[in-house]
Chains A and B, each alone.
Chain A
Amino acid sequence: MDARRRTVIDPKVRMVGFVTPTADMPAETAPGTTTTTTQASGLSQAPATTVSNFSPSPVIIPPPQKAAAPPVPVPSPGIQSRPAEIEYPSAAVVGSNPSDSLLASSSLPSSKTGILPGERLMQPLDLLAASMPAGTGTIGVKPGKGQPTSSSSSSAQVLPVRVGSVPKSTASKPEPQQATTTEASKPLKERTSKAERRAKQEAERAAKAAAKESGGEKATTGAEGGIGQSTVQKESKAQKAKKEHVPERKGPQPSEKKGTDKMPEKEKKKEVPAPRLQFDDQQKVAKAKRRSLVEQTETKNRVELFRHLPQYVHGTQLPALEAKFFHDDTMQPHPAVYQVGLQYLTGEIVGGNARCIAMLMALRSMILDYTTPAEKTLVRDLMARINNNVNFFITCRPLSISMGNAIRFLKARIAKLAVSLPEAEAKASLVAEIDKFMQEKIVFADKEIVKHAVTKIRDGDVLLTHGWSCVVEMILIRAKEMGKKFRVVVVDSRPKLEGKGLLRQLLSKNIQCTYTHMNASPYIMQEVTRVFLGASSVLSNGTVYSRVGTACVAMVAHAFSVPVMICCETYKFHERVQLDSITSNELGDPDALVKVPGRNDLSALEGWADNEHLQLLNLTYDATPADYVSMIITELGMVPPTSVPVILREYRKETTI
């Protein structure tokens, strides 16, 4: 198993951390160069930071409110099971095509402390042990830690693009200088003692708990996750005797902080939703890099306007990822979470609902297997554990808005648990809540949407849809079952060509279809009477955030006065307001644009990365303005896009509070 996994070649991996801004920056260091790197950075770093830096807390917060879209374009047999996934959201369903799966054959999910992780994780730990007493300084600098292990333990493994290690050290040097000279607050932060930092974390956590509502999902998943993880990490690492001192430290320290003028700053932070990590902010990125979990690889020729987004990168990150996640028990993602995360990574699970259900199922089995460690309270420890697991998901692929909402819901439920509640009961109630959420918010919601939507289909209609939304598919099939006579136009677009999957489903139900590409949409729109589209999310200004191309179809339909109906469950609604597709999006694989299957003669883009005048942009989502949307069909009925805030106001509070 192990061997097999290692030899898997170059799976497409989403690079979650960040990408170094300059093209010649090294993604990671080869084992041989590790020492130089650590020394170099060790010089510039305060010794106090070493320990915490060392803890691999994935503080990198990729924009979590990215919604789902499949990174793998091919309509594989796996796709056929997509609607089924909604109906039977068990973890087993998702791996419908095991042979495709990167890891399906690994025994991983079944054995929590399986041979596989165990064996290889020993090594990083040993390494750690060796390097820690030596006081080499910042082992925390990423390359120092995970990389040697992965490369040494698996020499056959294909390494991602990497450039020499030298630029790395040069790059890391100027950064601390900058910090000391230009920004006063930053060095302060970094130089604080461990105790201080802990105190600050505590204070932050308290603040966050107080302002749970106000923060976006991001604040909860990302920032908390980082904090929770690092504390857990530290505690586990600290000697057991030390543990007892920890609470004592917590006490005085926060009060000191409160005394100083730091407090107003915190207050401010509380009110403003935590800013997304902007990947073009070099300082922040460099800082995040140090704490990053995933090895860095390089994308070249980034599109200027989208530099702030996490870049899509090829590479084998799995080994490093495992090494980092598995070397410590508290960090370890639950096997089910691990499996699902990797299925995200390989594009085996795609589609908003499927991804959300898979995630909830994974978290559900995690909760079932959870036992509260001694001297800890369930609420806090479980929250931290969930943060760890969610961070793993994020590492695999940025969360969609719907997933963020689901996590927010789950966390609210955990926070609401009475401290006195016995563990078994608490777990049972959480599991029941998750089940209820999946049933009511997803399964029932879809049925209701179908029921509403079919009333808008009349005999003789020509319906147009774009891509493959499973709700739309259910609607069309239901309408057919009801004996309505209509025709469907499936508009598809490169590079994903999801529409082919939908087409197959519709044809198997004997629905009359026309298949066309986006280029022909203005022509075909003349005969269309209704447009049905799915959505990844609907934002509170009525903007529909959906697979790329939706805005185009909606705009064309609007120009032809064809009503555009968006089918979306309310759990996907989000309070955010977005006016464009730039501020928040997910970048797909630029190489997907390069090759056209079956057209080997189209080679103009070969070697595009070497041409610095060329950038490829493969966006995953776009924002459709509310003007182009006639109605949004939700399980609560059909509403105009202007009513989204009302639904959020009236219904969201019950799930999150």
Chain B
Amino acid sequence: MFAAGQHASTCHPHMIIAYRAGHKMKVSNMPVTEVKTGQDIPAGGVTFEWLRQAEDASLHRDQEVHTVAGVYGGQPFSVIEEFNFWRSKPELAEAVAAIKALTAVIKRSEASTMMGLEIELRNASDALKAWDETSISLTAGCNLFLRYVTRTSAVEYEDIAAGKARLIERGERFGEISQKARRTIAMLGQDFVHDGCTILTHGFSRVVLALLKLATANGKRFSVICTEGRPDNTGAEVAKELLSVGIPVTLILDSGVAYMMEKVDMVLVGAEGVVESGGIINMLGTYQAALVARTMNKPVYVAAESYKFARLFPLDQRDMSPSPRHVDFAEPIPPEVTVENSARDYTPPQYLTLLFTDLGVLTPSAVSDELIQLYL
């Protein structure tokens, strides 16, 4: 029921995302004279066929970039503007907005081959990613969509029109898919909420809110403790949302997590990104909440859509691209003081109990399995 069958089944073994078009592997020094490049190459990983195609494509790359500029010369099209347009819609997550923007690129594309289209998309998504390097769900959304394009191009190799139509349809539907994912997660996750329990949440997450609302709608009675969420004051927002459906809310300071933990039955957080190790990247403070919960043997649940799965593998906190956030300290601070103001932290998988995703309820180690099937 929860299997990621649709992804796995379309997996094309010849494509590895790591081998971007720009790379030319040096194939020398080996006594290889004849290398079969037929269609029947069954081996996984990088194949010569793929390399050749990539090389062909990269040769035309400059031209195509140029034609894009030429075509839109009169009416400049910017992925980023498109993205921002979609992002301004309240119900859309960042990843969805990115996919919508990329769909717009396809619509306007005049590439004549799937490979050309792919390159164009790749450039667009690189631009998007560069625009906000810190956003994990943006990167993940772009990558996921590109991945889908690669697979489609593998499937519908000859017919560009059909491939394009399929991609556009997919892109258009993605918003809907993401809504559906949220509902699925809410449905799966609300089983874990039982009557009379107290839930601690940290950060503002649409999925978590949907889950809690659904649980209430199903007649469950529980209370929520939410953290203040400095500096964005996410706690106030969450409290307002929850109160509107009649869930009792307690607001605490971010530093009060350990103080309140003994009254808590479970910790439920969203995620900005779910990384390959099965850990999550989320608003600053999630890690310490998870640590405290682990110390007191409380379960930590994460609700996240599968499009937030990112091919990242941070080893520690410093291993992520920094995303500084302006912090407003009430007192004026002498300039000599260094302010460390990361907006997020990385919670390693050993502190998480389960992840509620639209692929099912997963253990952290299953995330990597899904990612491998999704991306490789």
> Within 8 Å of chain A (Cβ to Cβ): is B30?
yes
Check if A448 sits within 8 Å of B18, measured CB to CB: yes
Residues 294-323 (chain B) with a chain A CB within 8 angstroms? 311, 313, 315-316, 318-319
B45 close to A (CB within 8 Å): yes
CB <8 Å contact, B16 and A654? no
Given the complex, which residues of B lie within 8 Å of A642, measured CB to CB?
Answer: 278, 365, 368
Task: Say yes or no: A436 contacts B36, CB within 8 Å.
Answer: yes
**In chain A, what residue has the closest Cβ to B33?**
A435
Complex CA distance for A637 and B11, rounded to whole angstroms = 16
19 A-B pairs within 8 Å (CB atoms) are namely A361-B31, A432-B34, A432-B36, A433-B36, A438-B32, A444-B46, A530-B315, A631-B313, A637-B18, A637-B372, A637-B376, A638-B276, A639-B368, A643-B365, A643-B368, A643-B372, A646-B373, A651-B13, A654-B42
Give a binary string over B23-57; 1 marks a CB under 8 Å from any A CB, 0 the rest: 00101011110111000011111111000000000
Residues on A with beta carbons closer than 8 Å to the beta carbon of B372: 636-637, 639, 643, 646-647, 650
Among B36, B311, B316, B368: residue with most chain A CB under 10 A: B368
> Roughly how many angstroms separate A456 CA and B318 CA in the complex, as a whole number?
11
A175, chain B: closest CB distance, angstroms: 48
B residues adjacent to A (C-beta < 8 A): 11, 13, 16, 18, 25, 27, 29-32, 34-36, 41-48, 276-278, 311, 313, 315-316, 318-319, 349, 365, 368-369, 372-373, 375-376
Mark out the residues of chain A between 562 and 596 whose CB falls within 8 Å of any chain B CB in the assembled complex.
Answer: 563, 565, 570
Q: How far is the CA of A111 from the CA of B257 in the complex (A)?
A: 78
How many whole Å from B344's CB to the nearest CB in chain A?
A: 19
Any B CB within 8 A of the CB of A194: no
Query: How close is A617's CB to chain B, nearest CB, in angstroms?
Result: 34
**Segment at the B interface, from A24-32, A57-65, A84-92, A300-308:** A84-92
Chain A stretch 437-493: residues in CB contact (< 8 A) with chain B: 437-441, 443-445, 447-448, 451-452, 456, 458
Q: Nearest A residue to B375 by beta-carbon distance?
A: A637
Chain A interface category by residue count: 35 or more
Bound Cα distance A435, B372 (Å) = 27
A565 vs B315: C-alpha distance in the bound complex, in angstroms?
9
A435 x B315 contact (CB < 8 A): no
Shortest CB-to-CB span from B364 to chain A, Å, is: 9
Closest A residue to B17 by beta carbon equals A637
Q: How far is A597 from B46 in the complex, measured between Cα atoms in Å?
A: 46
| Bound CA span A440–B14, Å | 12
Bound Cα distance from A630 to B46, whole angstroms: 25
Per DSSP, are chain B's interface residues mostly helix, strand or loop, or mixed?
A: loop
Describe A's contact surface by its main secondary structure: helix
- Pick from B29, B365, B375: contact of A640, CB under 8 Å: B365
Q: A436-B43, A439-B27 are in contact. Are A637 and B311 (CB under 8 A)?
A: yes
CB distance from B36 to the nearest CB of A (A): 5
- Determine the chain B residues whose CB is within 8 A of the CB of A437 once the complex forms: 43
Contacts of A428 in B (CB 8 A): 34
A650 pairs with B44, CB closer than 8 A:
yes
Rounded to whole Å, the gap between the CB of A265 and the closest CB of chain B is 35
Q: Which chain B residues lie closer than 8 Å to A565 at the CB level? A: 315
Which residues in A have their C-beta under 8 angstroms from that of B32? 435-436, 438-439
Q: How far is A651 from B30 in the complex, measured between Cα atoms in Å? A: 24
Determine which of A88, A432, A639 lies in contact with B29 in the assembled complex, contact meaning CB atoms within 8 Å. A88
Q: Which of A399-450 contact B (CB under 8 A)?
A: 428-429, 432-433, 435-441, 443-445, 447-448
A640 to B43, CA, bound (A): 23
Would you call A655 an interface residue if the criterion is a C-beta within 8 Å of the partner chain's C-beta atoms?
Answer: yes
The 5 closest A-B pairs by CB, nearest first: A642-B365, A651-B44, A643-B368, A563-B315, A435-B32
Chain A residues with CB under 8 A of B319: 456
Bound state CA distance, A51 and B4, in angstroms? 59
Taking the closest CB of chain B, its distance from the CB of A572, in whole angstroms, is 13
Docked CA distance A531–B375 (Å)? 27
Beyond A87-B29, A439-B30, A640-B349, list 17 extra A-B contacts (CB 8 Å).
Answer: A432-B34, A439-B27, A439-B32, A439-B35, A448-B46, A456-B319, A631-B313, A631-B315, A636-B376, A637-B18, A637-B372, A638-B313, A640-B277, A640-B313, A643-B368, A646-B373, A650-B373
How far apart sit A306 and B313, CA to CA, in the bound complex (Å)?
A: 39
A617-631 near B? 1/0 per residue, CB < 8 Å: 000000000000011
A564 → B minimal CB distance (Å) = 10
Say how far A92's CB is from chain B's closest CB, in angstroms: 10
Which residues of chain B come closer than 8 Å to A435, judged between CB atoms? 30-32, 34-35
Closest to B36 in A: A432
Q: Measured between C-beta atoms, what is the minimum distance from B368 to chain A in Å?
A: 4
Chain A residues near B47 (CB-CB < 8 A): 440
Partner of A443, one of B30, B35, B369: B30
Chain B min CB distance to A174 (Å):
53
Residues B45 and A630 in contact, CB atoms below 8 Å apart: no
Q: Give Cα distance in the complex from A646 to B371, angstroms.
A: 10
A444 touches B43 (CB 8 A): no
A322 at interface by CB-CB < 8 Å: no
A84 to chain B, nearest CB (A): 9
Residues of A with C-beta under 8 A to B276: 637-640
Tell whether, in the assembled complex, residue B318 and residue A440 are in contact, meaning their CB atoms are under 8 Å apart: no
| A442, chain B: closest CB distance, angstroms | 10
Asked if B369 and A655 sit within 8 Å, CB to CB, the answer is: no
A224 within 8 A of partner (CB): no
Q: Given known contacts A643-B365, A646-B373, is B277 in contact with A563 (CB within 8 Å)? A: no
Q: Give the one of B41, B43, B45, B311 with max A CB within 10 A.
A: B45
A239 to chain B, nearest CB (A): 42
Contact B376 A89 (CB under 8 A): no
Does A635 belong to the interface (CB within 8 Å)?
yes
The docked-state distance in angstroms from the alpha carbon of A657 to that of B313 is 31
**B315 shortest CB reach to chain A, Å:** 4
CB distance from A361 to the nearest CB of B (A): 8
How many angstroms between the C-alpha atoms of A458 and B31 in the bound complex?
A: 36
| Contact residues in B for A452 (Cβ distance below 8 Å) | 18
Bound: A570/B267 CA distance, A = 37
Given contacts A636-B376, A638-B313, A650-B376, contact A89 B45 (CB under 8 A): no
CB distance from B316 to the nearest CB of A (A): 7
Residues of B within 8 A of A646 (CB): 368-369, 372-373
Nearest CB of chain A from residue B212's CB, rounded to whole Å? 30
B contact residues around A650 at 8 Å (CB): 11, 44, 372-373, 376
Q: Produce 1/0 per residue, A74-99, CB < 8 A to B.
A: 00000000000001111000000000
User: Which residue of A has the minimal Cβ distance to B348?
Assistant: A630
Contacts of A439 in B (CB 8 A): 27, 30, 32, 35
A636 close to B365 (CB less than 8 A)? no
Determine how close the nearest CB of chain B comes to the CB of A197; give it in whole angstroms.
37
Q: How far is the CA of A85 from the CA of B372 in the complex (A)?
A: 31
Contact call B315/A440, Cβ cutoff below 8 A: no
Instruction: Using CB atoms, name the residue of chain B closest to A448.
Output: B18
User: CB-CB < 8 A to A441: which residues of B?
Assistant: 43, 45
Kindly provide the distance from the CB of A199 to the nearest chain B CB, expressed in whole angstroms: 35
Q: Which one of B29, B43, B316 contacts A440 once the chains associate, using CB atoms below 8 Å? A: B43
Bound complex: CA A291 to CA B47 (Å): 43
Q: Are A90 and B31 in contact (CB under 8 A)?
A: yes
Q: How far is the CA of A435 from the CA of B276 in the complex (A)?
A: 32
For B41, the closest partner residue in chain A by CB is A436
State how many angstroms separate the Cβ of B321 from the closest Cβ of chain A.
11
Residues of B contacting A636 in the complex (Cβ-Cβ under 8 angstroms): 16, 18, 45, 372, 376
Report B-chain residues with C-beta under 8 Å of the C-beta of A433: 36
Task: Pick the residue among B13, B25, B315 that contacts A456 (CB under 8 A).
Answer: B315
Closest chain A CB from B242 CB (angstroms): 35
- Give the distance in Å from the alpha carbon of A639 to the alpha carbon of B313 in the complex: 8
**In angstroms, how far is the closest chain B Cβ from the Cβ of A347?**
25
Using CB atoms, name the residue of chain B closest to A444.
Answer: B46
Q: Which of A90, A637, A639 has the most CB of B within 10 A?
A: A637
Partner of B45, one of A445, A638, A657: A445
A207-249 CB contact bits vs B (8 Å, 1 = yes)? 0000000000000000000000000000000000000000000
